[in-house]
Structure 1
């Protein structure tokens, strides 16, 4: 894909703005999901280095997330908005399936709008035993893969959480299975370091009802 002029966040030093813009372009055009990797790659392409002796610290992830959303609105346009709506609707359908026993919550890029075609829907579920979800999906004939993801908490601890991954048409769904007590114990978002925004089914349905014009013309939830 050809290199495009990327919108700037308008904050910080010239170098910081350049890194934010280039990192957002890398994420959107090269399907890089990890913000730190995108920032380091952006520094390298700008002829800079990180660490001691560098001209400045890496910009924060919240700035990158905002730049990704801005980039997608400008360059992704209706294709981006349509895919975001499809992901949000798929999330609602998955949450309705899980609603009776797992208190599902929608999290991540589908909530903020900072998505690319490489992103998957991220849902948190809650149960006494994580394998309950495996039995639930098996009983309904839904093929899935088991995985694991580390979540960091405000006290500094990092906890591995079981993950079930399946496909809903062309959209990937990841369900992280937490214990029941974790409904009141929220991990930190890798995007801004704050407790993750968790949407219940009603909030997710309201988000899925947001149309293309609103997505492209006004800020989304962060």
Structure 2
């Protein structure tokens, strides 16, 4: 019973840190939350799914007025970015798709091409300043690889592009929260979400 109570407290505090401070690494959020609460038992750390549930609850209670507006704005930005990158078969992933986006959230897109330099070339051609990094993506339980990530701002919204090979288009990477195939949305699906909203 005490472990359950501690997990719940950590999940709620981690959700607050994510929502208010823009912390996006769930592991870091729960460790920081546990330290703030003085709970040092590893068995009390909540699962990522528990933190995501707590985040939705936090937003419903404390961000009910501004979070839906911010989510809509991020989805509109996603729609425009997906149109811009249409030739790379973009898929929306992450907080903007699942509905937990806030003012700290980036519009995260997966782009598919066997020529990553074509994405860079498009950004350079349009004089869009970007940062280049890499990200480890788990394709399945046994396979993880590093792929290029390009980041830039579109107005106030950060855009995060993970450039994946074309043959991965049919195989969704594993979600860091659920460890199941990642939920992804095409442009048509994003437009449908905006219609619903």
TM-score (norm 1): 0.83
Contact 1:66 1:114 in 2 (8 A): no
Bigger Cα displacement from structure 2, 148-157 vs 129-138 = 148-157
Asked if residue 151 in structure 1 is aligned to residue 137 in structure 2, the reply is yes
Question: How far apart, CA to CA, are the structure 1 residues paired with 2:94 and 2:54?
Answer: 16
Q: Secondary structure at the match of 2:9?
A: helix
Measured in 1, the distance between the counterparts of 2:72 and 2:196 equals 8
Measure how far apart 1:57 and its partner are.
4.1
Q: What are the Cα deviations for residues 121-159 of structure 1, in whole angstroms up to 9, with x where unaligned? A: 100000111111011122223222222111112232221
Aligned to 1:201: 187
Equivalents in 1 of 2:142, 2:112: separation in Å? 22
TM-score normalised according to structure 2 size: 0.93
Count of aligned residue pairs for this structure pair: 195
**Cα distance per residue 1:98-135 (max 9 Å; x no partner):** 11x10000001111122232221100000111111011
In structure 2, distance between residues paired with 1:203 and 1:140 = 27
1:110 aligns with 2:99: no
Q: Counterparts of 1:92 and 1:79 in 2: how far apart (Å)?
A: 20
Structure 2 residue runs without a partner (length 5+): none
Q: What corresponds to 1:5 in structure 2?
A: none
Q: Distance in 1 between matches of 2:41 and 2:137?
A: 25
Equivalent-residue separation in structure 2 for 1:71 and 1:210 (angstroms): 23
The two structures, once aligned, show a CA RMSD in angstroms of: 1.5
- The aligned runs of 1:36-51 (5 Å cut-off) are 36-51=27-42
- 193-202 or 153-162, which deviates more: 153-162
Partner of 1:15: 6
Q: State the secondary structure of the residue aligned to 2:46.
A: coil
Matched, 1:94 2:81: yes
Show the counterpart of 1:191. Answer: 177
The question of whether the paired residues in 2 share the 8 Å contact of 1:144 and 1:164 is answered with: yes
Decide whether the 8 Å contact of 1:69 with 1:115 is kept in 2: no
What SS does the aligned partner of 2:140 have? Answer: coil
Give 1:60-79 correspondences, 5 Å limit: 60-79=47-66
Query: Among residues 136, 141, 155, which one is paired with 2:127 in the alignment?
Result: 141
* Unpaired runs of at least 5, structure 1: 1-11, 212-222
The equivalent of 2:164 in structure 1 is: 178
Q: How far is the alpha carbon of 1:49 from its aligned partner?
A: 0.6
